[in-house]
Structure 1
Amino acid sequence: MILEIKNNRFMIIRRDGIQFVDFDEIIYLERFRQHTLLQTTGESEIPVAISLNKISPMLPDSFVRTHRSFIVNIKFIKEVRLMNKNVYEAPFLNGKSALISKRCLSALKNNLLEV
């Protein structure tokens, strides 16, 4: 699998074809087992076999690492809820949510104010 950036979107090249995903359609990226899942506005999860650390530099500034397992498109964040003393969550309209660690919350706040 190859992941490239073309015209402000991901181009995911697999053996069976090529898939394009616009950055504006990605709500968040989640690391789950051996894959990174791209959660999109179309409510589909697109698995890619690339780590968040490798994907992160490819993303525009609207994407922020909020947890060791999540990178969130801050354009979709409407609220942040406290789960416990170290973890928050950002719920989205599709019923899914992303985690935000306490140490990443201040960076997230700064980025939200800039949008």
Structure 2
Amino acid sequence: MIKLNTILVDDEYSAVEGLRIRLEHFPEINIVGSACSVDDAIELINNKEIDLIFLDIEMPSKSGFELIKHFQPEACPAVIFVTAFHQHAVQAFEVRAIDYLLKPVKLDRLAEAIERVISKVKLFQKSELIALQQEVSSKSEQNKHSVNQSDYNFDSDHLVIRDAKNPIQIISFTDILWIDAAGDYMCVHTATDTHVMRARLKELESNMLPEAFLRIHKSTIVNLAYVRQLEPLRNSEYMATLTTGKTLKVSRTYSKQLKKLI
């Protein structure tokens, strides 16, 4: 069973205790601490390995959004906002929050939010990704004298990946929904799987991807065939919703080109 090291951040003691009681229904949640301010939360996070934060927004001195800024995007724990105010919802999803719960939190909505986190962790859990990276690096070292030292190959219709779990994965480009970066590695997402391969986003973009693929963020490329709608955010940014319901942020740098193509 997945265990999520979790902290609760809220300036109201009663809110923290009420949430703590509700979370007792979920064996996946391991509460390792609580904080009543952003500064206290940062100190707590610096001393513990945190997977999930239940985070209030309107707190004295600093808001919950200030805590998000403490992290690099790729290193941020999963965040579920818990607040009495609905007007921050758009901004919450701009920073890629997993969910946005209104106080008082209902148990069924809490269960739904936790299930979303668990699904996310199954794909991106740090220990799994590190293990994959190590195995792929090992294969790369073993094959360093071969003609093709990369962990992937391709033709006009398919991407071929050698990952840690399967010697060869042949993926049709038409099945790929989006690709995002994880350092020197890429996560290639289809409707049913996520494949990890050693490559850089710029390399994929310039060398192999069909025209249907477009960069929408410094760390994300999307297959335009799966973009269902664009929701405008602030500062000329957008939230792209895929046909699967997955949402991806479109940064201002790439939004103009995306709007032209869909």
Shared fold per TM-score greater than 0.5: yes
Aligned match of 1:38: 188
Q: Is the counterpart of residue 109 in structure 1 residue 253 in structure 2?
A: no
The structure carrying a bigger strand percent of its residues is 1
- In the TM superposition, structure 1's runs of 4+ consecutive aligned residues that sit over 3 Å from their partners are none
Q: Quick one: which of 100, 105, 114 aligns to 2:250?
A: 100
Aligned match of 2:197: 48
For 2:261 and 2:244, the matched residues in 1 are separated by: 23
Q: Aligned partner of 1:102: which letter?
A: R
Aligned match of 1:5: 154
* Greater RCO (CA < 8 Å, at least 6 residues apart): 1
Query: Which is greater in Rg?
Result: 2
The structure carrying a bigger helix percent of its residues is 2
Q: CA deviation at 1:33?
A: 4.1
Q: CA deviation at 1:12?
A: 0.9
Aligned match of 1:82: 232
Aligned length: 111
Deviations 1:3-55 (A, max 9, x none): 1113511011347511111100101101134421111122x111112110111
Q: Aligned partner of 2:159: which letter?
A: F
Aligned match of 1:71: 221
Matched-pair contact (CA < 8 Å) for 1:28–1:98: no
Gap regions ≥5 residues in structure 2: 1-149
RMSD: 1.9
TM-score for both structures, normalised by structure 1 = 0.83
Given the superposition, is the C-alpha separation of residues 14 and 28 from structure 1 closer, same or farther in structure 2, using an over 3 Å criterion? closer
Q: Aligned partner of 1:90: which letter?
A: A
Matched-pair contact (CA < 8 Å) for 2:236–2:255: no
Gap regions ≥5 residues in structure 1: none
Q: Secondary structure of the residue that 1:105 maps to in structure 2?
A: helix
> How many percent of aligned residue pairs carry the same amino acid?
22
